[in-house]
Amino acid sequence: MIKETLNKPLDSTATNSSNVEAHYYFKLKHDIQNDSELPLAKEEIEGLMEMSPELIENFVDVLCRDPLNDFVSFKGFRVQDIITRQPYCGALQGYQVKTEIRNCLNLVSRLAYFRDFYVLVTSDKLEHVKALHPVLGKVEKVAFRDETSTYDLSPFAQLFTIKKTYPKVLVRFIPMHVLYEPSHYVARLARKVSQADRMFENSIAHFKENFKRPFSSASSRWFKTIEDFIDARDAPQLYLTHFIGVKGKFFPRMVKAIINSIKLTRRQLLLDPFCGSGTMNLEAVLNGIDTIGVDMQPLFTQITKIKILSLRWDAEWLKKQIEGLLRDIRYSMDSSTKNESLSKFLHLPKIAEVSLPNSLMRGVREDSLHCIKVIKGCIKSLEDDDLQDFCELALAYWIRSMLKKQSPEKIVQTYSDRLWSMFYSVYYFWRFQKEISNIELGEARICTGDIKNLRSVIAEELEYFGREDVDAIITSPPYGTAIDYIGEHVYALYVLDLIKDHLDLDKMHIGSPRVNSTLVQNITKRSDEFLSLPDSAQSILLKMVKGGRKSKATAFYRYFIDIYDSFKQMSDVLASNKFLVMVIGRQQIVKLDSEIAVIELGKIMEDIGKSVELKYINSIDVGLRKASMRGAIPTEHIIFFKKAH
């Protein structure tokens, strides 16, 4: 395999082959959820190519026309079999652009919504083709015949030549995310390193070689392979170290496309002040963009930090550390009953303190709590602090179930399985870096703090990057009162010693469901604070109060006021003429006494942003197929603002 360094700056101007025309064909991924994602796919093409593309409804259309039609063959190697393999079954199959030859480094490393793309050059001069990508520099000689000649250059590039009417070169590129998304399945399925190795190699080869392979459906149980998971319509969301953390995350593909659409370049500084589990920060780092992440929830910031740090870890070292830790846990669990002399020699059992408030002790099994203390004690004996945090996150994932439902034997097995799955997410990228592409990562600084005092919270991080403000903000704030971001993870917060009193976090919680009921007077009496909100927020709050939902109205009132303050804080740290992109659930439903009220969160966010003098650019609605099936918020509303000079 040929390894290339990616994430170098894209020279968006023409190369020395600027007088040579090139045709770019972008093929959408087959696992796009629905047509609502297409505008975002188009936005990222416009951002990376700096021009608007033409639509391709069906790739047969362009295969039938010049200049691509010369590559259609009825004998020998058939390029059309690759191009038509696994199309997106929606309104479109892709986009095309006709322009001068350009460096494709950024396209290869950053495209999010495309399975592959093709560049056709009508020239027989290699210097014109080599201008497309450094990997093509390895081509010394090509042949032009009336049948297609093929050249495998790397795991992500193939070259085809032909000469019928005149010489033509077609280059196929596979974007990096396509090659590392299978890590989602490897982390779930692998039980030993040899299995992970086989799946890694098969998944990389699949995109180049298996364009005539039959697909085994999701209902198949026997002989299902990594290739079948890759070809399924479900888009992988937890690839690479996105797998680390807790349930409920931003959609990485969406984040990546947003980054591309606003034309962020390497070493620019991107802020997420509601970073949650760090999806945006990790995507920024993978694309060579520096980033700051902030959240008031310390478990989330620990997850974000470890996701990014572990990208640089040596997987062989990590494997040895995990094996030693699990061996230590087994000895510690056995020590009290099986071998007292061995226990004294090994200084076992290793037990750490776990302090849960009385309000959380109901239903907690005494033997399970002891097991958690032993696992935590063994983790604390590790020498590396970051490694400790990594191993603790595996403990946090199922912690409520471990404490209340699982026996000690089951807890140890559950913990071990989760820890190894996290390892395989690191292992995949480690091999990817060594053998496929040495991606130059951006830097990240992650901190825990209150967005209501944002500039002070990130002051040290700004100084680290030598900046006074940030180049962009992309964030997804809490979705109204739909999720309790503290209560959902309260056991993990205590077990990992991240808090002393979880109620203290409510002071920083945006729109906490635990608010003072007297705030309803601000709504009913139309206080100055209430009147500072846009009409769209005022009207729904009054409707909720009138409809008998005073408690809910109070919680949303606090939420809207906090969001208004957050917008002002974000605008303050954002550089002039730069983008602020907010992703929020478009609507939330509330039952009133005699009707159902719809809270138009997307519209209210737009109005609040405008009220703090941010220029509204546009918005995109993306339907979430899986979310709607769960009964959660079914549509993401992506709002693009720009700060005025």
Structural domain total, the chain: 2
337 burial type by CB count under 10 A (0-12 exposed, 13-18 middle, 19+ buried):
exposed
Confidence of residue 594 (pLDDT cuts 50, 70, 90): confident
Q: Answer for the pair 322, 463: CB distance below 8 angstroms, yes or no.
A: no
In a domain, residue 300? The reply is: no
CA distance 204 to 240: 14
Question: Region 328-334: what's the mean pLDDT?
Answer: 89
In a domain, residue 311? The reply is: no
Amino acid at the residue 378: C
pLDDT at 14 over 50: no
Q: What is the predicted pLDDT for the residue at 627? A: 44
Most confident of 444-453, 483-492, 627-636: 444-453
Question: Region 238-254: what's the mean pLDDT?
Answer: 85
In a domain, residue 49? The reply is: yes
CA distances from 9 to 97, 224, 524, 632 (A): 21, 40, 55, 39
In a domain, residue 518? The reply is: yes
**Residue where one domain finishes, among candidates 174, 194, 229:** 174
Q: What is the predicted pLDDT for the residue at 215? A: 79
pLDDT at 4 over 50: no
In a domain, residue 371? The reply is: no
Confidence of residue 519 (pLDDT cuts 50, 70, 90): confident
449 burial type by CB count under 10 A (0-12 exposed, 13-18 middle, 19+ buried):
middle
**Residue 252, preceding peptide bond in cis (omega within 30° of 0):** no
Q: Who has greater pLDDT, 193 or 234?
A: 193
**Residue 67, preceding peptide bond in cis (omega within 30° of 0):** yes
Q: Answer for the pair 244, 422: CB distance below 8 angstroms, yes or no.
A: yes
Q: Answer for the pair 627, 583: CB distance below 8 angstroms, yes or no.
A: no
| 121-159 confidence digits (pLDDT tens) | 998 889 999 999 999 988 889 999 999 999 999 999 999
| 70-116 confidence digits (pLDDT tens) | 999 988 889 999 999 999 999 999 999 999 999 999 999 999 999 99
Q: What is the predicted pLDDT for the residue at 305? A: 98
CA distance 318 to 102: 40
**Residue where one domain finishes, among candidates 133, 155, 174:** 174
Backbone angles phi, psi at 117, to 5 degrees: -145, 160
In a domain, residue 428? The reply is: no
What's this model's pTM, rounded to 2 decimal places? 0.92
Q: What is the predicted pLDDT for the residue at 504? A: 77
Q: What is the predicted pLDDT for the residue at 237? A: 87
Backbone angles phi, psi at 615, to 5 degrees: -85, 120
Q: What is the predicted pLDDT for the residue at 518? A: 80
pLDDT at 422 over 90: yes
CA distance 153 to 134: 11
Letter string b/e over residues 550-566, b meaning 16 or more CB atoms within 10 A of that residue's CB: bebbbbbbbbbbbbbbb
CA distances from 571 to 385, 405, 464, 608, 609 (A): 35, 46, 20, 12, 9
| 567-582 confidence digits (pLDDT tens) | 999 999 999 999 999 9
Neighbours of 621 (CB within 10 A): 14
Q: What is the predicted pLDDT for the residue at 18? A: 53
Confidence of residue 478 (pLDDT cuts 50, 70, 90): confident
Token readout for 538 is 């005022």
Backbone angles phi, psi at 89, to 5 degrees: -95, 65
| 195-235 confidence digits (pLDDT tens) | 999 999 999 999 988 888 887 776 555 668 899 999 988 88
| 439-461 confidence digits (pLDDT tens) | 999 999 999 999 989 999 999 99
pLDDT at 2 over 50: no
In a domain, residue 476? The reply is: yes
| 27-68 confidence digits (pLDDT tens) | 999 999 899 999 999 999 999 999 999 999 999 999 999 999
Confidence of residue 338 (pLDDT cuts 50, 70, 90): low
Q: Answer for the pair 395, 157: CB distance below 8 angstroms, yes or no.
A: no
Percent of the chain whose predicted confidence (pLDDT) is above 90: 74
| Structural domain that includes position 539 | 447-643
DSSP string, 335-404: HTTS-HHHHHHHT----------GGG-TT--HHHHHHHHHHHHHHHTSS-HHHHHHHHHHHHHTHHHHHH
Q: What is the predicted pLDDT for the residue at 557? A: 92
Confidence of residue 348 (pLDDT cuts 50, 70, 90): low
CA distance 224 to 74: 32
**Residue where one domain finishes, among candidates 143, 174, 205:** 174
Neighbours of 367 (CB within 10 A): 11
Confidence of residue 1 (pLDDT cuts 50, 70, 90): very low
In a domain, residue 257? The reply is: no
Amino acid at the residue 484: D
pLDDT at 524 over 90: yes
Percent of the chain whose predicted confidence (pLDDT) is above 70: 90
Sign of CA dihedral 275, 281, 283, 287: positive
Confidence of residue 630 (pLDDT cuts 50, 70, 90): very low
Q: Answer for the pair 6, 105: CB distance below 8 angstroms, yes or no.
A: yes
Q: What is the predicted pLDDT for the residue at 16? A: 47
Q: Mean of the per-residue pLDDT values for the chain?
A: 89
